[in-house]
Structure 1
Amino acid sequence: MKAVVYEKYGSPDVLELKDINKPIPKRNEVLIRVYTTSVSAGDWRLRKADPFLARLFNGLFKPRRVKVLGFELAGVVEEVGEKVQSLKRGDAVFASCGLRFGGYAEYACLPANELISLMPSNMTFEEAATVPVGGLTALRFLRQNNVKANDKVLIYGASGSVGTFAVQIAKSFNAEVTAVCSTANTRLVSQLGAHHIIDYTQTDFLKAETRFDFVFDAVGKTSKSACRHLLKPGGKFITVKGSPKSRPDDLSTLKEMIEAGNLITVIDRRYTLEQIREAHAYVESFRKKGNVVINIIPGQEQQQL
């Protein structure tokens, strides 16, 4: 099968399209024909070993544990292990690959656990493939901190993958959402449901007069000390640099929200597996809006269940 492999850390040029062995599912795994994957921050950071601590996870001098990136995917189950009962051959699924990665390939084996679910019935494969990383991150942080109705929530980096999901999820919790983004993205975050928008190219959000119950740094570019004065007494600063707690129903909750019409995904650009270097370079430039997808099988912007 074809897969994008990297044998050393570095720029997008280290990514190479190669033929490798097709994986065989273990007793508790499913083999998925991958239709679409994405380029997330986790992908390019592991490729680049940025931060340096990534080397402690994946090999000090070169990649050892993960050589095929791809943090999330959507596709069709082709084979199931003998212990798997929750899924069957032919099921359309979307999934987080977890720390095993592996989405940049024609096939991937994943455990049949809470990180894989039947696809939402109202999404294409490429839409579904962009939900697990950004959607799960946003949901987990907002749930963990008990964001609720009438809370005032400021979301910094509202036009990124985590940010676009966070705006919608916070709104679905009936919170009052203030989104921080650039001029080019104000219309987008407004359409996603933000009640107030701060254009950081025109106004320093740190000078906002409103005090918030939560400040959510969805891009990891600010700090608690910088935002402390924006918080109400007892308010909380949330950052994607943290580690949110997971729940077994996280992915199924996102699926229900999508099918209820309360959550969509934003796709900025589409690439093929052969264009993976270009896709990585674009995402690493920090210019993307929402998500960047890699269509391994062409035409996934049209194909729905």
Structure 2
Amino acid sequence: MKAAVYRRFGGPDVVRIVEQPKPAPGRGELLVKVQATTVSAADYRARTKDVPKGLKLLSSTTLGFITPRIPVLGMDIAGVIEAAGPDVTRFKPGDEVIAMLGGKFGGHAEYVTVPQDGAVAAKPANLTFEEAAALVFGGITAQAFLGRTSLDPGTSVLVNGASGAVGTAAVQLARIAGAHVTAVCSGPNAGLVRSLGAGTVVDYTTEDFTEASAAYDVIVDCVGNVPFRHLQPLIKPGGALLSVVADLPGVLAAGLRSHRTGIHITAGNVPFTGADLAHIAQLAETGQLRPVIDRSFALTDIAEAHRYVSTGRKRGNVVVQVAGPPAGGGLVD
């Protein structure tokens, strides 16, 4: 099979297409023929080892210290089950699925194995494989974090980094719950986040949202660029801070800060579940949640996909079409 492999940490050009042995499913595993995947911020961090403060040593145990330990990146996939290992009962060959691979990676290849009890769900029937792949990384991450708090009609939610993969999903999920959403992004992305359900938009290039007098029930921080001391005054008593991107001091201090301030803080990694992914898929199938695709690339052009993600300016998701020609970019309506 063809796979996008990197043998050293560095820029986009370290990623090359090579031939690798096709994997075989083990007990309880599915062999998925990948149709589409994405290049996410997590792939960028893994390729460059540009990780939040204090996490380089810890992340090296997974990513590798000198050279990459997992040569094929890609945290998410949409594809078709080609074969099932022993004891598989939930899916069968021919089923169309989406899956979040997490720290196992492996999605930037023509085939990958997925445990049936992992974060895998039926693909929404109304979406193409490219659209379905664009749901996974941001959707399951946003759902996993928002699931750590309570969203009721009228809840006020601020999403920092609202135009990225996780941010665009968080805006929509909060809107679906009936919350009033304030989105922080650059001015050119204001129209996008408004179309997804944001009631208020703050352009961070002209306004510092931490200096506003408003307070929120929930802050979803998808960027990790604002110190806790600046966020705390913006969160209502008993509210929640969901730090999708957090450095090591922020992760270690979360419990103590929660106890001291009464703010419910979730920082760092959260578990990805099949139930969360199935919920995201159901919302998409009923038209409530839509994927956001910035650009699409063929697998053979994956270095260019990495190069674009490295600019830090992607809107939503950068899709890699593993089977067939790229579908073209744009917002999926």
TM-score band, normalised by the shorter chain? over 0.9
Structure 1 segments of 4+ aligned residues over 3 angstroms from their partners: 245-248, 299-302
- The answer for the alignment partner of 1:234 in structure 2 is 238
- TM-score, normalised to structure 1, is 0.94
Instruction: Report how far residue 299 of structure 1 moved.
Output: 4.7
Q: Which shifted more, 113-122 or 45-54?
A: 45-54
Give the whole-Å Cα distance in 2 for the aligned partners of 1:97 and 1:247. 10
Instruction: Report how far residue 257 of structure 1 moved.
Output: 1.0
Cα distance change on mapping 1:247 and 1:19 into 2, 3 Å: closer
* Equivalent position SS for 1:249: helix
Asked whether the equivalents of residues 144 and 245 of structure 1 are also in contact (C-alpha less than 8 Å), the reply is no
- The answer for the alignment partner of 1:143 in structure 2 is 147
- The answer for the alignment partner of 2:63 in structure 1 is 58
- The answer for the alignment partner of 2:20 in structure 1 is 20
Give the whole-Å Cα distance in 1 for the aligned partners of 2:28 and 2:300. 31
Matches within 5 A, 1:168-183: 168-183=172-187
Cα distance change on mapping 1:255 and 1:300 into 2, 3 Å: farther
Asked whether the equivalents of residues 114 and 251 of structure 1 are also in contact (C-alpha less than 8 Å), the reply is no
Unaligned runs of 5+ in 1: none
Instruction: Report how far residue 246 of structure 1 moved.
Output: 4.7
Instruction: Report how far residue 248 of structure 1 moved.
Output: 4.8
Q: Does 1:243 align with 2:248?
A: no
- The answer for the alignment partner of 1:49 in structure 2 is 49
* Equivalent position SS for 1:237: strand
- CA RMSD between the two structures: 1.5
- The answer for the alignment partner of 2:108 in structure 1 is 104
Amino acid at match of 1:105: A
* Equivalent position SS for 2:224: coil
1:291 to 310, 317, 330: 317
Amino acid at match of 1:2: K
Aligned residues: 301
- The answer for the alignment partner of 2:254 in structure 1 is none
Q: Does 1:154 align with 2:180?
A: no
Amino acid at match of 2:209: F
Cα distance change on mapping 1:204 and 1:47 into 2, 3 Å: same
Give the whole-Å Cα distance in 2 for the aligned partners of 1:107 and 1:69. 13
Asked whether the equivalents of residues 36 and 126 of structure 1 are also in contact (C-alpha less than 8 Å), the reply is yes
Give the whole-Å Cα distance in 1 for the aligned partners of 2:227 and 2:133. 30
Amino acid at match of 2:307: A
Instruction: Report how far residue 247 of structure 1 moved.
Output: 4.9
Give the whole-Å Cα distance in 2 for the aligned partners of 1:227 and 1:217. 10
Asked whether the equivalents of residues 190 and 203 of structure 2 are also in contact (C-alpha less than 8 Å), the reply is yes
Matches within 5 A, 1:1-305: 1-51=1-51, 52-53=56-57, 54-64=59-69, 66-241=70-245, 242-299=268-325, 301=327
Amino acid at match of 1:75: G
* Equivalent position SS for 1:113: coil
Give the whole-Å Cα distance in 1 for the aligned partners of 2:118 and 2:23. 21
* Equivalent position SS for 1:131: helix
Alpha-carbon displacement from aligned partner over 1:31-70 (angstroms, at most 9, x marks no partner): 1111101001111111112222321212211112x11111
- The answer for the alignment partner of 2:261 in structure 1 is none
Instruction: Report how far residue 254 of structure 1 moved.
Output: 0.7
* Equivalent position SS for 1:243: coil
Amino acid at match of 1:70: G
Asked whether the equivalents of residues 141 and 245 of structure 1 are also in contact (C-alpha less than 8 Å), the reply is no
Instruction: Report how far residue 294 of structure 1 moved.
Output: 0.4
Amino acid at match of 1:154: L
* Equivalent position SS for 2:194: helix
Amino acid at match of 1:48: T
Instruction: Report how far residue 243 of structure 1 moved.
Output: 2.2
* Equivalent position SS for 1:214: strand
Amino acid at match of 2:7: E
Alpha-carbon displacement from aligned partner over 1:208-234 (angstroms, at most 9, x marks no partner): 221111111112222322211212222
* Equivalent position SS for 1:254: helix
Cα distance change on mapping 1:245 and 1:85 into 2, 3 Å: closer
Alpha-carbon displacement from aligned partner over 1:130-180 (angstroms, at most 9, x marks no partner): 222111111111110222221111111110000000000001111111111
Unaligned runs of 5+ in 2: 246-267, 329-333
Give the whole-Å Cα distance in 2 for the aligned partners of 1:180 and 1:18. 40
